[in-house]
Structure 1
Amino acid sequence: MVFDAVVLAGGRASRLGGFPKPTLVVGGATLLEHALDAVHEARVIAVVGPETSAVAAGRLPEDDGDRLRWTLESPRFAGPVAALAAGLAALRRDPAGDAPWVALLAADLPRAREALAPLAAAAAAEPEADVVLAEDDGGRAQPLLALYRRGPLERILAELDDDGGLADRPLRHLVARLTVLPLRLPPGLADDVDTWSAAERWGIRRPEGPGSVDATGGA
């Protein structure tokens, strides 16, 4: 399937004390690298977050001209809906036109590649759905692990922008206006790293703690 991708990598990470989640290392790669690996077949990738040497270092996809783009939401830290809109705006700079699907991933999913594959298969099999939305093994919706049809996504974002703006909106306001195909994923595939206890389950300890990893993943 032909798709573009938006990777959200610029949140406050308040439950991690502000430590930049995309730089955490799991299995020898940063979380951002895992996200970019998951969407390596995307035509164009927009990363919404700061393009710092710490985040950008590592196995990034080859930049074929302008394939990998960095952008920021405005105002900063305005939430995932505003960040998604900023990512879409960056994707629109492609003279080849719009891809019909957009993969949306948060940069805190260690198993992002395994998780995205069944979503892509479901999107190809269900052409009428506006969004193929991952659910964790407990049935909780994961709107930051999903494939969105480009046309309905942009239409609903425009409606929300006209109806109070995009800043600080929860993603459920967006998803509620779309035709959703939920897809329950096997245990662990949708697990994210948004707290230190979750990080420790992936072998990551607080950087300031005894025996912890540092910002580069070293012991």
Structure 2
Amino acid sequence: MAEFAAVVLAGGRARRLGGVDKLLLPIAGRTLLDRTLDAVAAADPLVVVGPRRTTARPVRWTAEDPPGGGPLAGLQAGLARLPLEARVVAVLAGDHPHLTPATITRLLDALRAAPEAAGAVLSDSGERLQWLVGVWRAGALREAMPADVRNRPLRAVLAPLAPLTVPAIEAEASDVDTPEDLRRADPTSE
């Protein structure tokens, strides 16, 4: 088993992008999902929560219950696919085009340096925590999971764990939710 596992949340309806499967949108020749998976290529296992898609690397697929139950339901489903011996897990949304293995390494290093911390999350330039770009102690996540996760905000469950904050470098924290986000992520696409 690798130093860490990963759960990538790849559900959602992409309403602000007209309902397209945004995770299959290309950014500099790679899909959004593959770019996110590249950032956690060292993870084992690598679990993706959402509809099955073609990916450049092998992953374990699962789905949240109920379907469309939100990110917290997705996280719960992803955690259920990890072996109990998994100690650290990267938790990412699948729509972050500028994440790299170096991003994940910085988060892992921060967590390693603070043994009492439950997790470490990226913060954007406005110092807002990016709850879906972080690494966590798997036990802390499992203990924090409420019995009913349907449509509950992820932040409401993760914030009480008081994660460490790791400032983003350049566009690392950006995601793709709108056509403008897509243009910013890949200016060559126009």
Deviation at 1:179, TM superposition (A): 3.0
The alignment covers a number of residue pairs equal to 188
Deviation at 1:50, TM superposition (A): 0.7
Cα distance in 1, alignment partners of residues 4 and 167 from structure 2: 21
Aligned residue in 2 for 1:203: 186
Aligned residue in 2 for 1:108: 95
The letter of the residue matching 2:54 is A
Deviation at 1:186, TM superposition (A): 1.7
SS at match of 2:149: coil
Cα distance in 2, alignment partners of residues 186 and 36 from structure 1: 19
Is residue 2:149 matched to residue 1:166?
Answer: yes
Aligned residue in 2 for 1:90: 81
Is residue 2:144 matched to residue 1:156?
Answer: yes
SS at match of 1:84: helix
List gaps (5 residues or longer) in structure 2: none
Task: Using the aligned pairs only, state the percent identity.
Answer: 41
Cα distance in 2, alignment partners of residues 99 and 74 from structure 1: 22
Aligned residue in 2 for 1:178: 161
Is residue 2:171 matched to residue 1:188?
Answer: yes
Cα distance in 1, alignment partners of residues 187 and 93 from structure 2: 18
List gaps (5 residues or longer) in structure 1: 206-210, 213-219
The letter of the residue matching 2:69 is A
Aligned residue in 2 for 1:208: none
Contact 1:49 1:72 in 2 (8 A): yes
Aligned residue in 1 for 2:14: 13
SS at match of 2:81: helix
Aligned residue in 2 for 1:127: 115
Aligned residue in 2 for 1:217: none
- Give the one of 120, 133, 137 matched to 1:145: 133
The letter of the residue matching 2:14 is A
TM-score (norm 1): 0.81
Cα distance in 2, alignment partners of residues 71 and 19 from structure 1: 20
Aligned residue in 2 for 1:216: none
Aligned residue in 2 for 1:73: 64
Is residue 2:66 matched to residue 1:56?
Answer: no
Deviation at 1:204, TM superposition (A): 6.6
CA deviation profile, 1:96-148 (whole Å, cap 9, x unmatched): x4211010011101112143231122112122110101101110110100001
The letter of the residue matching 1:166 is V
Contact 1:4 1:102 in 2 (8 A): yes
